[in-house]
Amino acid sequence: MADPAISVTGVDRIFGKSRKQVVALKDVDLTVAAGEFVSLIGPSGCGKSTLLRLVADLDTPTTGDIRVFGKVARQARLDQDYGIAFQQAGLLPWRTVAGNIELPLKLHGADAAVRKNRVAELIELVGLTDFAKSHPDQLSGGMQQRVAIARALAESPKLLLMDEPFGALDEITRERMQNELVKICAETGAAVLFVTHSIPEAVFLSDRVVVMSPRPGRITGIVDVRADGLAGAHDRTERARDEEGFFHAVAEVRSLLHGTPETATAARGVDNR
């Protein structure tokens, strides 16, 4: 069988030294299959972004092993096996939309004709053809984020890492972007690791939702959305938001986030953390 897109085994990440040390991640195991859409959800400080950064090799685990398509994370980064998008679109303001999308291709020495075609394709994919020559400051937040996604897709990666890419958008733009992302993922067939703190977003987009809790950051449960009767992430339409399975999965994730119902009741009024 082919290597999974991501496999994380026994990972700890500890920041700081001796007394001041903070355990950001404790004993994390996670596997993301090729083409699978997995969301990480949890309150602030649960280490979801840290985990994504470890997979991207923007940070290194204190202990444990991370493999991307069977390679160590560093090699996968150097081989450009993933595309990445952050909460901040992070576009270079002095480059046009086309120039920004082109950037990774240019940095990795793709020749001009190839770049031009690929950029035209991607701009079309994210529906910004009319804005190819605009600069980022002329675009709305949602449009900027679309450019960032197009840039992440530039080298046709089989894995997308997304760190709250829609976190700064308003609710309406956000749902539209989610619909588009589902479409894009279906077209590219890429696996996605998606960090969010919105439960409906996680459920709507994902095959599986990984619920995390803080202090120390760890995985408390995994909800398989498909088991609730929703289509796989790639075949989903916006109608999925109205299906019963959707609400069921949302409730499931919520109860995992807030602990089991019994302990939640027992703790109420006692623990006001």
Which residues here bind another protein, judged by CB under 8 A? 53, 56-58, 77-78, 80, 82, 84, 86, 88-94, 103-104, 107-108, 135-137, 139, 141, 144, 148
- The H or E element that residue 84 is part of is strand 82-85
- State in angstroms the smallest separation of the CB of 163 from another protein: 9
Q: Tell me whether residue 24 or residue 219 sits nearer to another protein (CB atom).
A: 24
- State in angstroms the smallest separation of the CB of 174 from another protein: 16
CA angle 110, 59, 8 (to 5 degrees): 95
Whether the CB-CB separation of 196 and 120 falls below 8 Å is answered with no
Q: Tell me whether residue 53 or residue 236 sits nearer to another protein (CB atom).
A: 53
- State in angstroms the smallest separation of the CB of 89 from another protein: 4
258 CB contacts (<8 Å, ≥6 apart)?
264
Q: Tell me whether residue 149 or residue 240 sits nearer to another protein (CB atom).
A: 149
Q: Tell me whether residue 64 or residue 141 sits nearer to another protein (CB atom).
A: 141
Residue 159: strand pairing partners: 82, 191
Structure tokens at 1: 């069988």
- State in angstroms the smallest separation of the CB of 49 from another protein: 11
Helices 97-107 & 112-125 angle (0-180, nearest 10): 130
- DSSP, collapsed to helix, strand or coil, labels residue 28 as strand
